[in-house]
Amino acid sequence: MQFTAAQIALIINARVEGDPAAVVASFGKIEEARSGQLTFLANPKYEDYLYSTKASVIIVHDTQDLKEPVNATLLRVVDPYSAFATLLAKYQEMIAQQMTGIQEPSYISKTARLGKNIFVGAFAYIGDNVEIGDNAKIYPNVYIGNNARIGDQSELHPGVRVYHDCLIGKNVSIHAGTVIGSDGFGFAPQADGTFKKVPQIGNVIVEDNVEIGANSTIDRATMGSTLIRSGAKLDNLIQVAHNVEVGHHTVIAAQAGVSGSTKIGNNVMIGGQAGIVGHLHIADNVKINAQSGVSKSIKNPHTAVTGSPAFDYTSALRSQAVTRKLPELEKRVIELENLVKQLLMEKAGI
């Protein structure tokens, strides 16, 4: 597929500077791009490549100053990174639209209801009473259990497992190997020291416009629903336990874990390898630093925490600064003790 600079400008609302008829057919990093490719400049430290790149079209900030002539056609926008993301999304959408039909072998229950223009890859399993919306993509080796629902334009990448009764909204992307609706970790201690399994009879609800990375696990609720609210973005290798609620537009980085029944607010940012204890409440717009261990509820919005146990981010930085100075402080304390000892001896006439 080929596009001119003028056509791209219409998509991202850009101002063309240079040849509007310049043609591109693919994307490239600014330091490696070739003729016929489109790239972007968002980070100032890459500005030198603006003058040496072979790219035919470059998306830049609308206030970008030029220190020397540029051979490429420039598309000036308010936010180059977001504009480039928009183009990549459009490109993916066009590719996805070419994938339709049902590959064989695959199993689709006679009671399943399939939408228009869907794609079902080979070796997929679609159980009884499953509903799949229009333009959905079910890639090879996907399992969808009985009574599950997949919304319009959602994508389940290879090897995704959606257990029975789970509900996936519209425009959701779930990447390879992720499990939606596995049993929550519920076991009742017995008098003889053994554990009795507590049946997990709830489900998982993933609302619209959510993305879940590869090899993540979202457990079904003991009763009720584990909830991933609209717009949330989860990275790879994340564990979300039973009855957790993840708020709207919250983002969670890789290897983080959220224990059961914790409620996370809207627009929360959780760093990689962070751990959150169960039955907590995390307020809106909280930031949890990577590798933090959150053991208490965070009730005040716009709070930032770090450390294990996690506490106020600014205070934690001060504590770290003091810790680095401990050897120097110890030396000064010893010197002061010796000075005091000497003064006491002089006072005593020793």
Catalytic residue numbers read 242
Whether residue 76 contacts residue 60, with contact meaning beta carbons closer than 8 Å, is answered with: yes
Angle, helices 5-12 vs 80-97, to 10°: value is 110
Give the pair of three-digit tokens for residue 16.
């063309």
The greatest distance separating any two alpha carbons of the chain, rounded to the nearest whole angstrom, comes to 104
345 touches 337 (CB < 8 A): no
| Best CA proximity match to 309, nearest among 294, 321, 287, 288 | 294
CA distance 313 to 298: 13
Q: What are phi and psi of 10, to 5 degrees?
A: -65, -35
- In 3D space, the residue among 45, 32, 78 whose CA is nearest the CA of residue 59 turns out to be 78
- Sequence-ordered list of residues with C-beta below 8 angstroms from that of 253, at least 6 positions apart, any chain: 235, 270, 271, 272, 274, 290
Listed residue (236, 255, 258) closest to 247, CA to CA: 258
Distance CA 144, CA 73 (A): 47
Nearest to 240 by CA among 224, 272, 222, 262: 262
With CA atoms as reference, report the closest residue to 289 among 317, 320, 310: 310
Report the alpha-carbon distance of residue 100 to residue 76 in Å, rounded: 36
Distance CA 37, CA 130 (A): 42
184 CB neighbour count, 10 Å cutoff: 25
